[in-house]
Amino acid sequence: DVKVTQSSRYLVKRTGEKVFLECVQDMDHENMFWYRQDPGLGLRLIYFSYDVKMKEKGDIPEGYSVSREKKERFSLILESASTNQTSMYLCATQGNTGELFFGEGSRLTVL
């Protein structure tokens, strides 16, 4: 079974703090993604990566950055958290069939 592990299930941060969300996969998949999930808005792609040290902007990259230093790890960084970044963040990897495999999610609250 594919395992996608997100390091933090719940985080509470203050406005202006730097936030790291980490995602690790054990299936040697090249493609990894960060989405945010909001009620009524569905899933929106923030950033994705198709190889180590490679990254591409998704639909809503503003306020976020990413890091892919190793194939198995894809980190999402909020340089200065704001209240409108309160959300559920989902990491996913993509297998050879195109299917996405998701982590359990990280629920971030910014006060």
Partner 1 sequence: AQRVTQPEKLLSVFKGAPVELKCNYSYSGSPELFWYVQYSRQRLQLLLRHISRESIKGFTADLNKGETSFHLKKPFAQEEDSAMYYCALSGLGGGADGLTFGKGTHLIIQP
CA–CA dist 98, 69 (Å, integer): 23
Q: Residue from 19, 66, 76, 90 that binds partner 1 (CB under 8 A)?
A: 90
Q: Looking at beta carbons only, is 8 or 17 nearer to partner 1?
A: 8
Alpha-carbon span 91 to 81, nearest angstrom: 18
Residues 6+ apart with CB under 8 A from 78: 18, 19, 21, 63, 64, 85, 108
* Binder of partner 1 out of 12, 27, 41, 52 (CB under 8 A): 41
53 in contact with partner 1 (CB under 8 A): no
The answer to whether 20 and 8 have CB atoms below 8 angstroms apart is no
Total residues interacting with partner 1, rule: CB under 8 A: 25
89 binds partner 1 (CB under 8 A): no
Question: What mask of x and - would describe binding to partner 1 in positions 15 to 34, judged by CB under 8 A?
Answer: ---------------xx-x-
- Contact call for residue 45 and partner 1 (CB under 8 A): yes
* Residue 95 CA, distance from chain mean position: 17
